[in-house]
Structures are given as C-alpha cells and as structure tokens.
Amino acid sequence: MYQYTEFDRQFVKARANQYRDQLSRWQAGLLPEDEFRPLRLQNGWYVQRYAPMLRVAVPYGELSSTQLRALSTIASQYDQPDTALFKRAQAAQDELGDIPLDDGKSVKTNLTKGYAHFTTRHNVQYNWIPLDKSADVMDLLASVNMHGIQTSGNCIRNITSDERAGIAVDEIADPRPFAEIMRQWSTLHPEFAFLPRKFKVAITGATEDRAATAWHDVGLHLVKNASGELGFKVLVGGGMGRTPILGMEIRSFLPWNQILNYLEAIVRAYNRFGRRDNIYKARIKILVKAEGQQFVDQVEAEYQDILQIDGAPHTITPAELARVSASFVEPDLTSLHASLKGAPPAAAPVAAADNTEYSRWLKQNVAPHKNPELRIVTLSFKRLGQAPGDATADQLKLAADLADQFSAGEARVTHDQNLVLPWVHQAQLTALWEAARKAGFARANIRLLTDMIACPGGDFCSLANARSLPLAEAITRRYQDLDELHDLGEIDLHISGCINSCGHHHSGHIGILGVDKDGKEWYQITLGGSDGSLLSGAPATGKVVGPSFSAAEVPHVIEAVLETYRELRLPADGRQETFISALRRLGADPFKAAANGVRFAAAASPIAEAQVA
C-alpha cells in the first residue's frame, strides 16, 4: 500500500483545519453562501436532492482496514440526517410510487441512512451527512490520511487506475507510482485549478484495460516499444455525458519520463481553447472532436515549448520514480503467510452441497495474482435489498475484518463498485469463502448480470431524470437464480438516472438511461456498449433500442433481450458464446425486435404516472 509521508499527513490535516474555519465563518454569517460554496465543493461537499453529499477520494482504490473502519464510523455516526429531513425524504419517495412486478409485489427504493457508496472512479460517497458535522468528518478522515480534495470542481480529479495494479498477472509496469506522481503534480496546481470543466485521468499498466481508459479525458496505458523501453500510449478526449466519445490516440509511445510535460501540454491546450462559454460543450472531448488534427498540433506545439523554452521542468528522473515507487510497500508476505508458504490451494469445502457454489465463486470472484501462491478475491457488494456499491457501517467493518484476516489489512475499490482483497493465500480460499459467505459478500455474481453499475439516480441526485436504484433492485430480484445467472454468463449492465451518465450506461453491454418525458420517469435501453475490458472487447458506445419504456416494462425488456440471446447463441471454444459476442455477430435487430415487443403496462405503471419532484 501507499505509505503516506509526514508531508501528506500535514497537508491533509491543514486542509481539514482550514475547512473548519471556513465552515464556522459561514455558520456565523461572516462568509456569504456564494463564497462558501466553492470552498466546500473543493473538499468534496456537494448539496444534493435531500442533503449534502460527501465524496471522499480513494487514491488508486487502496483502502487499509483502518481506513475502512473510519469509513464505517462516518457511516454509523455521521451519515445520519435529522428525523424531520429523513421523514420528508421518505414522503417524497412515497409520492414517486413503486414499480409493480409480475409476482404481485412491487419495488421502490428503501431509503436508508448510515452507509457509504463505492463509486466507479475510486471514490466513496455519503448521502446524508449534515453540513454542520462536515468539519468533524474532515478531521476523522484526515486522521486516516483521507480527504475529499479535488473530488469535485473543474480541476484534475482523483486519478484512477486498475484495482489489480502492482499484482496483476498481465501487468507491463505498476501504474500506481505514476498515478501518485501525477497526483502530487496536479493537486492544487494553480494553472489547472479552474479548467473549463472537470478533468478525469485513468491509467493502466496491464494488457487488459480494467480502468475504462478510453472513456476518460485522458487515458494512459503503460506499454513497451520494440526496444523494450517503457512508455505511455496516450488517449485524449474520451467521455460520457450527453455526447459519448471514445478517447483518440494522440501518442502511441511517449517515454515514461515525459508524461508530466506532455500532460501539461494537453491541459494547457484545453485550458486555452476549451469552451468556457457553454457547460455542455466544455469537456475536452468536444474540443478534440471539433479541432481534430489542429488540437493534436496545438498539444505538440505546447509540448515543444515546454521542452525547449521551459526546459522540460517536469521530466521525471529515475531517482524520483524510485522514490515514489518505494512508497508502495508490499506486505511482508514471509511473515504474513509464514505457515502457509508453499501450501497448496485450499481443498474444496467438505459439504458436497456447497461444492457448486464454491466452484462458481472460484470462477467468478477469484483471479490469479502475480505471485502464483496468492489470489485476488472480489467481495461482492451486489445483493438483493441494497443499491449496487452500497456498504453499511457493519459491512464496512466486516470487510475490514476480512482484509485483516486474509489480505494483509488491505482492500481495494473496483471500477464495478465492489471491493477486492489483493493478498489472499491460495491455501486460505476456503476459509475466506466461508467467512465472506457469513458476512454476505460471497455471492458468485462478479461480471454477471447482477454485478451491475448504477448511479444514485433520482432517489438522491438533484440532476436525475429518473430513479436508477429501484430498477437495479427489480432486475436483481428477477435474476436471483444463480443457475440462470451463470447460464447467461458475463454481461455488463449499466444504469444511469440521466444523460450525465454516472452509471456508465453508454459502455454497458446493456445500458439503461433515465429520461424525462412530460415530467415523468421513462427509460431508454442501449445495446452493445463496451468499457474496453477483455470480456467486452474494443471500447464502444451502446446504441439506443426503440422508444422509451416505463419502469415497469424495463425488467421485461431485459428479459426479452436475454431470452433472444439464449435462443440465438452458439457454442464457442467449448463454452457458449457470450452475450456481447452474440450481439456483435447478429447485430441489434433481433434484440431490438424482442425489446420492442414489450409494451404492456405503460399506462398502468404508477411510476410512469408519478411526478418527479
């Protein structure tokens, strides 16, 4: 894990103190609202539909068990709105109505409090912390080296990476030291504190892209050239939102030591020419798309200026890379696994009845590790009755206990809103499975339909057109049967409550997007998107299938699409063809026809009739 330095610690503490002062001046009426707002936003404090929302950064996704416990304390002690507010929120929720299901039951969001939400970009969000408690929360976070700095605003946001960084079997080089060098360079960089719009960078060092790099403002891949030298393939101008665009390759090989100089050239070009006049056109993707080669030329000109006129001030020296790399300390596995050294993989569980479940878990939730004796194990945060990526205070504590017991006290947040344990010995897999099962984290659904991504949607977000979470719940409820789920195989389902696309619907094999028609909640379905992972193939934007559907129809549309897949799929390489491969082979038409056959309950759906508050 990254070892925080004294400088890091003091920096985060000083920021927490500064924020306390700003908050108290605002509370005393000495700081006007419009001056306090940017200050709280710079520390991750938004105000959403019902209450303030806090976004906490988790650099490179790494969380120690101590940090997990601090997050748990925040959930139990601070993610607690006052009773009147919570009642108002519940009443508003009731007004929205439920989604009727076939079994005579219905589903709506069960508004809860006291939990954290893992996002897709190595952040954790809370939905209910009262603003007058915000400085206490900042202090608590600072005590474990955490903060919300640059998790909001038009700056370079938390730089995300691969949850398997440093331990992946397909890794060319560890991306974390570069992510950390970029974090140190970009944090509070005065030239880049007020960009035209937010700026998101993702970096991977593996052959498989597990960081959705093509969907970022800048996507970086560590690669080796023909002479075996390390460098970066650089993508620029990717993003989702109302104009989904895949990042374009601007450099196929940039020597690794030039990455800050080159990034500076990109961000300078963006800072000068980005559309500050129109928030919908302000992301770098719009500039790159509009200017094409001219943008590339501009970046190259800036880069040459930085090299020749400025003297390449941010060239990374081997000593600097070595210094930062040394901050990523591997756990002492000799002592951690002393008794297990050389031990074979764990035997299957004794009870025969558990064998299928266990082998499914091994297949879906356990991945190889660069150390052949170890495994990377995903704890599933996708379950019935809980929003994707949500973790209660108790669950956070349980995850911390599992990290201590099985993974050298470390867990990592994944792009798909789960946690992984990165240092599990193969001989402990059965014991971990038993413990994870007891804690409710062992559902063998990783990369399957119910391992979906969803944004908070209309239940929490003031920008939403529709709710995401009840749909996630309805689909999860429909697909509880693990036999069926495994038969359907690996499928990315992504749900966003509006076109801002926080739930990545554009990159889902199946995407669901909440849209507003005459003040009512409706949903568009897209098919064929990809985040660029091995399973999904080349990154792609999903295409819309027909007109919008009511909430009640959506689970049936998903079912119709998946039944069509089951009918038409072919066996492939001894396994069956995956959903995304079948979709690419057949084209969207048969799936579209099946989806559009579902037109039954639009008028009768209470959610379709409810006014969006």
Interacting residues toward ligand SF4 by CB under 6 A: 455-457, 461, 463-464, 496-498, 500-503
Q: Closest residue (Cβ) to ligand HEM?
A: 241
Q: Of 482, 494, 511, which Cα lies nearest the Cα of 591?
A: 511
The reply on whether position 120 binds ligand HEM by CB under 6 A is yes
| Residue 66 backbone dihedrals phi, psi, to 5 degrees | -65, -40
Distance CA 126, CA 118 (A): 9
What is the β-pairing status of strands 201-204 and 571-572?
A: unpaired
Give the one residue of 254, 419, 461, 583 binding ligand HEM; rule: CB under 6 A.
Answer: 461
Say which entry of ligand HEM, ligand SF4, none residue 388 contacts (CB below 5 to 8 A, set by partner kind): none
| 106 scored as a contact of ligand HEM (CB under 6 A) | no
392 scored as a contact of ligand HEM (CB under 6 A): no
Residue 89, number of CB atoms within 10 A of its CB: 21
Q: Can you give the length of the chain in residues?
A: 613
Nearest residue (CB) to ligand SF4, 205 versus 514: 514
* Residue position matching structure tokens 């909430």: 551
Task: Tell me whether residue 378 or residue 496 sits nearer to ligand SF4 (CB atom).
Answer: 496
CB of 97 to ligand SF4, least distance (A): 18
Identify the bridge partners of residue 17 per DSSP, sorted by sequence position: none
Q: Which is nearer to ligand SF4, 148 or 497 (CB)?
A: 497
Residue 125 in the binding site for ligand HEM (CB under 6 A): yes
From the CB of 534, what's the least distance to ligand HEM, in Å?
20
Q: What are phi and psi of 473, to 5 degrees?
A: -65, -45
Return d(Cα 370, Cα 422) in angstroms, integer: 11
Phi, then psi, of 472 in degrees rounded to 5: -60, -40
Q: Return the range that interacts with ligand HEM (CB under 6 A); candidates 184-192, 311-319, 367-375, 453-461.
A: 453-461
Of 414 and 501, CB closest to ligand SF4 = 501
Does the footprint of ligand HEM cover residue 497 (CB under 6 A)? Answer: no
Compute the least distance from the CB of residue 492 to ligand SF4, in Å: 16
Q: Does 151 bind ligand HEM (CB under 6 A)?
A: no
Is residue 240 near ligand HEM by the rule CB under 6 A? Answer: yes
3-state secondary structure of 558: helix
The arrangement of strands across the sheet holding 218-224 comes to 201-204, 218-224, 230-236, 248-255
Q: Residue 197: which of ligand SF4, ligand HEM, none does it interact with, CB under 5 to 8 A by kind?
A: ligand HEM
Q: Report the 10 Å Cβ neighbour count for 233.
A: 17
List the single partner that 125 binds among ligand SF4, ligand HEM, none, CB under 5 to 8 Å by kind. ligand HEM
Name which position in 44, 153, 237, 456 contacts ligand HEM (CB under 6 A).
Answer: 456
Q: Is 142 helix (H, G, I), strand (E, B) or coil?
A: helix
Distance, in Å, from the CA atom of 451 to the CA atom of 438, rounded to the nearest integer, reads: 19
Instruction: Give me the sheet containing 493-496, strands edge to edge.
Output: 453-454, 493-496, 510-517, 520-527, 543-549
605 binds ligand HEM (CB under 6 A): no
Find the shortest distance in angstroms from Cβ 377 to ligand HEM.
Answer: 22
Q: Is 500 in the site for ligand HEM (CB under 6 A)?
A: yes
Name the nearest CA neighbour of 484 among 566, 395, 417: 566
Interaction partner, residue 100 (ligand HEM, ligand SF4, none; CB < 5-8 Å by kind): none
Binding partner of 283, given ligand HEM, ligand SF4, none, CB within 5-8 angstroms per partner class: ligand HEM
Cβ at position 461, least distance to ligand HEM in Å: 4
State which residue, 458 or 489, has the beta carbon closest to ligand SF4.
458
Rounded to a whole number of angstroms, the minimum distance from the CB of residue 475 to ligand SF4 is 16
- Residue 607's contacts (CB-CB under 8 Å, 6 or more residues apart) are 96, 97, 98, 99, 467, 470, 521, 550, 551, 552
Q: How far is the CB of 495 from ligand SF4 (least distance, A)?
A: 9
Nearest of 144, 176, 150 to residue 4 by alpha carbon? 144
Q: What angle do CA 225, 227, 228 make, to 5 degrees?
A: 65
Compute the least distance from the CB of residue 431 to ligand HEM, in Å: 32
- Residue 244 CB, shortest distance to ligand SF4, in Å, is 13
**Quick one: tokens of 272?**
């000068």
| DSSP β-bridge partners for residue 222 | 232
219 binding ligand HEM? (CB under 6 A): no
Which DSSP string do the residues of 147-174 spell out, in sequence order?
Answer: --TTSSSSSB---B--TTTTT-TTBSS-
Q: In whole angstroms, how close is the CB of 457 to ligand SF4 at the nearest point?
A: 5
Shortest gap between Cβ of 117 and ligand SF4 (angstroms)?
A: 10
| β pairing state of 575-576 and 571-572 | antiparallel
Residue (44 or 456) nearer to ligand SF4, CB: 456
Q: Which does 509 bind (CB under 5 to 8 A by kind): ligand SF4, ligand HEM, none?
A: none
Q: What's the CA angle centered on 378, arms 375 and 382, to 5 degrees?
A: 165
Distance CA(454)–CA(183), nearest Å, equals 27
CB of 119 to ligand HEM, least distance (A): 3
Using CB under 6 A as the binding rule, the residues of this chain from 268 to 307 that contact ligand HEM are 283
463 touches ligand HEM by CB under 6 A? yes
Distance CA 587, CA 513 (A): 21
Residue 501 in contact with ligand HEM, rule: CB under 6 A = yes
For 366-424, where are the alpha helices, taking DSSP H only?
A: 393-406
Contact between 41 and ligand HEM per CB under 6 A: no
Query: Is 214 or 488 the residue whose CB approaches ligand HEM more closely?
Result: 214
CB of 430 to ligand HEM, least distance (A): 33
| R_g (Cα) of the chain, nearest Å | 24
Residue 425, strand partner residues: 374
Q: Cα(417)–Cα(65) distance, rounded to whole angstroms?
A: 18
Binding track over 49-68 against ligand HEM, x by CB under 6 A = ----x---------------
Q: Under the rule (CB under 6 A), what is the footprint of ligand HEM?
A: 46, 48, 53, 119-121, 125, 197, 200, 239-241, 283, 455-456, 460-461, 463, 500-502, 504
